[in-house]
Every structure is written in structure tokens, then in C-alpha cells.
Amino acid sequence: MRGKSIQGSYEKIALKDLLAKVIEGTDIVLSDSIAEIELSNIVIDEQPVLNFVNYLKTHCYLSVFFIKNVLYCHLEFLTKGKEVKHRIGWNVIKDNDLKLRTKQEVNVQVNLTAEKPDGTKVKASSGKREARLLIV
């Protein structure tokens, strides 16, 4: 896919069909779980395939990735994972173990160090000196 380029103009095209054109002539295979999404008004100026894949990620909010030679493409954040069975006290905190604390009860000091574009370092600190120290 590195040396391959793509171009075209599509009024309406299914995502699976477009990806099939992208991988045409390579040993890459499309996943069976690619969503049935219809893209409209797609204009692709001649560009490398990897730039087009990046376009799908940034402008169409699609998650595009490979596992070996299989290409996966899903709506970002909607990929369904394994089903999790929750058990209180095993993989979920018991509700009676949670304690609500106010900011007056929490004894923490936070130190922050940042670097400006010119290279100078800026330090900031917040909280009580004798508190537990968090460095960010």
C-alpha cells in the first residue's frame, strides 16, 4: 500500500466498496465486520492510499487498523468488545467501600512543572506543604 495511490469522485458509495477499491491489487483482506456505512460526496484527488486512510480517520471519524493482513474499519468508539460479567467485590468495588471526601479532608500537594517554547521551565505548586505529594 505504500507506493499505491487513489483518486476518484463518488456521489454515493458504500464504505466497504470504497475500501475494496483501496486494497485492490494487494494481499490485504477486508474484515467481515465492517459496518454498512454509506459515504456521500467523496472527492479524492490523486493521493497516497495511506493519506486517504488518514482522511477517513480524521474527517469521517472512523477507526481504521490492521491485524496481520486484515483491514478493519469501524465508527470510532463504537467497536463492540467482549461482554463483561460484573461481580460485586470481584471486579467491581463494593459500594460500602467508597468514601466521599470533601476538599477540606483531602491532604494533597500538587507540583506542576512545564516547559515554555523558549525552553524555560515554569513550576507551580498548590496545597499544604505537609500533604502527600503528587508530581505532575
Query: Tens digits of per-residue pLDDT, 27-54?
Result: 889 988 887 888 888 888 888 888 888 8
Which residues constitute the domain of residue 117?
A: 105-135
114 lies in some domain:
yes
User: 5-9, 120-124, 131-135 — which one is most confidently predicted on average?
Assistant: 120-124
- 60 with 113, same domain? no
pLDDT at 79 over 60: no
Does the pLDDT at position 109 exceed 70? yes
The answer to whether residues 55 and 117 belong to one domain is no
Structural domain includes residue 99: no
pLDDT the model gives residue 43:
85
Predicted pLDDT at 106: 74
Q: What is the pLDDT of residue 134?
A: 57
- Say whether both 24 and 68 belong to one domain: yes
Q: What is the mean pLDDT of residues 69-76?
A: 84
62 and 119 belong to one structural domain: no
> DSSP string spanning the chain?
-TT-EEEEEEEEEEHHHHHHHHHTTSS-EE-TT----EEEEEEEEEEEHHHHHHHHHHHS-EEEEEETTEEEEEETT----------BTTTB--GGG-----TTT--EEEEEEEE-TTS-EEEEEEE-TTSEEEE-
Note the pLDDT of residue 94.
Answer: 66
Q: How many domains does the chain have?
A: 2
